[in-house]
Structure 1
Amino acid sequence: MSAETMTHTLTTDTAEPVTAPVLPGDDRAGDGYDWMDTLEGTAWSVLPNWGSEGWDAGSWPYIIFAVARTRDGHGELFGYGTYVEGDTATHWFRAQDACFEAITAEVFFHWDSGQSDGPDNLPATAAQLPDGNRRPYPGWTR
């Protein structure tokens, strides 16, 4: 990857400085579907589903999740990014489990608020979700 597609940041779980792929920003010329097109050819891919039954991870075209996985000199890095009505945010983790927990918390927020379709009978917190609903949808292969 060229230097223009990398950024210096801190991992969320270990607070270590890393260089990782940039999540493309919103150019404000289109909508979330157009933003998803900007991911093509990058380290990022759209994460459409979450949990054991493949519930919505967002609410396209307004709320979109993306994920990336890369490696640096110290090991693997796991990232997720969000697009929420044009605003983007990126989070990197050294541990995959920490990344999954962070995605679960954010997906749960959207399920709980009714912004995304999720499981019926949600518990009070994301931490109380069954393990199968705190992981990627098994049919997803990235």
Structure 2
Amino acid sequence: MSAEIMTRTATADSAEPVTAPALPADDRAGDGYDWMDTLEGTAWSVLPNWGSEGWDAGSWPYIIFAVARMRDVSGELFGYGTCVEGDNATHWFRSQERCFEAITAEVFFHWASGQSHGPDHLPTTAAELPDRDRKPYPGWTA
């Protein structure tokens, strides 16, 4: 089991300071599959799919999405993080809806740029995606 490292950050939606689990660091000794193994025993889970049809949320082993959910004294926190070719980024939200919007925007970027497989007929912006494609794949569990 990995040791959970906590970090001070601010939520992206409410800008409040929080202490939340950090994404494990990429040790650069392996690839993205090795990095996914570092999530074991932490608050983080790999997010492989997004939207109604379970399109790719990233492009393993180069683009990997992870999600976490926790509770602090003020309520629930929803996080997502990415490991893109070894560079990690983490985002925390008070609102699950805002977290899903942010994930949708980032996943859409990778679909639109051809970096991962998404819907065949993408709209111009992520905001124009139908509601069914702006949330986790229904078959996914974490």
- Shared fold (TM-score, shorter chain, > 0.5): yes
Which stretches in structure 1 are left out of the alignment for 5+ residues?
none
- SS of 1:18's partner is strand
8 Å Cα contact 2:8/2:17 also seen in 1: yes
2:6 matched to 1:13?
no
- SS of 2:7's partner is strand
For residues 68-109 of structure 1, what are the alpha-carbon distances to aligned partners after superposition, in whole Å with 9 as ceiling and x for unaligned? 000000000000000000000000000000000000000000
Quote the residue 1:82 is aligned against.
Answer: 82
The CA deviation at 1:15 is 0.2
Quote the residue 1:34 is aligned against.
Answer: 34
- SS of 1:110's partner is helix
For residues 97 and 140 of structure 1, the distance between their equivalents in structure 2, rounded to whole angstroms, comes to 17
For residues 15-73 of structure 1, what are the alpha-carbon distances to aligned partners after superposition, in whole Å with 9 as ceiling and x for unaligned? 00000011101000000000000000000000000000000000000000000000000
Deviation above 6 Å: which 4+ runs of structure 1?
A: none
Quote the residue 1:136 is aligned against.
Answer: 136
The CA deviation at 1:141 is 1.6
Aligned AA (1:104): T
- SS of 1:43's partner is coil
For residues 78 and 16 of structure 2, the distance between their equivalents in structure 1, rounded to whole angstroms, comes to 13
For residues 31 and 125 of structure 1, the distance between their equivalents in structure 2, rounded to whole angstroms, comes to 31
Give the alignment's TM-score, normalised by structure 1: 0.97
Which stretches in structure 2 are left out of the alignment for 5+ residues?
none
Quote the residue 1:119 is aligned against.
Answer: 119
For residues 107 and 19 of structure 1, the distance between their equivalents in structure 2, rounded to whole angstroms, comes to 26
The CA deviation at 1:4 is 5.9
For residues 37 and 130 of structure 1, the distance between their equivalents in structure 2, rounded to whole angstroms, comes to 33
Shift in CA distance, 66/20, structure 1 to aligned 2, threshold 3 Å:
same
Determine what percentage of the aligned residue pairs are the same residue.
Answer: 83
Aligned AA (1:17): P
Give the alignment's TM-score, normalised by structure 2: 0.97
8 Å Cα contact 2:44/2:68 also seen in 1: yes
Equivalenced residue count is: 140
